[in-house]
Amino acid sequence: MKPFPWKCLAVLALVLVAAGCSGGGPRLYKAGGTVKRNNKPVEGAQVTFAYDNGNFANGHTDAEGKFQLTYQNLPGGTVPGKCTVTVSKMGRSATEPTPEVLKAPPKSAEEQKAKMLARQKLMADATKRAAETSPDDFTKTGFTFEITTDETKNNFNIEIKD
C-alpha cells in the first residue's frame, strides 16, 4: 500500500478534529450602557445582568459612567434574554500608584528589604481605605432589561436617584 493516501487521511482527520474544537460557546452580542446617579456619571461601579438560569453578564463603569458587558468573563458581549440588573459601588480603590522611589531597583539587600516592607505597608493602607465605606457607596437592584440580537437596542441607560 502506498503511504501517500494514509498521510492525506491523517491530515484530513486532524483538520476535522481542529475544526470541531474551535469557537465553542454561545453567540455573543455587544451590550453596555451608562450609569448615572442623580444625573452624574458613576465611576467604578459594578453592573451585573443576571439571567433566570443563574448565568450572568457584568461590566465596570469608567469615568464617564459607561460600561460594556462580558458574559461569564467571555469578552465580546453577552447572550440574549431578560435580565435583572444590579448596580453597586462599594469601597474606594485598592489600586494606587506606586511611589517612584519604590520603583527603582534596590542597591543592597537592606534596601530591598526596606522597599519590600514599604510596599507591604502601602498595600495594607490601600486595602484598609478600600474597605472603608464612602458616602458614594450604594447598591441598587430591581432594574430589568432585555438583551436582544439587535445590538443597536443593547445600550442601556441606568439612572439611580437618591
Give 155's contacts (C-beta < 8 A, 6+ positions apart): 31, 32, 33
Any idea which of 95-104, 121-130, 132-141 has the lowest mean pLDDT? 95-104
40 grid coordinates: 452624574
Give 19's contacts (C-beta < 8 A, 6+ positions apart): none
pLDDT higher than threshold 80 for residue 23: no
pLDDT higher than threshold 90 for residue 113: no
pLDDT higher than threshold 60 for residue 159: yes
Average pLDDT of the chain, as a whole number: 80
CATH number corresponding to 26-91+134-160: 2.60.40.10
Give per-residue pLDDT as tens, 26-66: 999 999 999 999 999 999 899 999 999 999 999 999 999 99
Q: What's the confidence (pLDDT) of residue 101?
A: 61
Q: What's the confidence (pLDDT) of residue 108?
A: 78
**% of residues, the chain, pLDDT over 70:** 69
Residue 17: strand, helix, or coil: helix
pLDDT higher than threshold 60 for residue 162: yes
Give 26's contacts (C-beta < 8 A, 6+ positions apart): 71, 79
Residue 73: strand, helix, or coil: coil
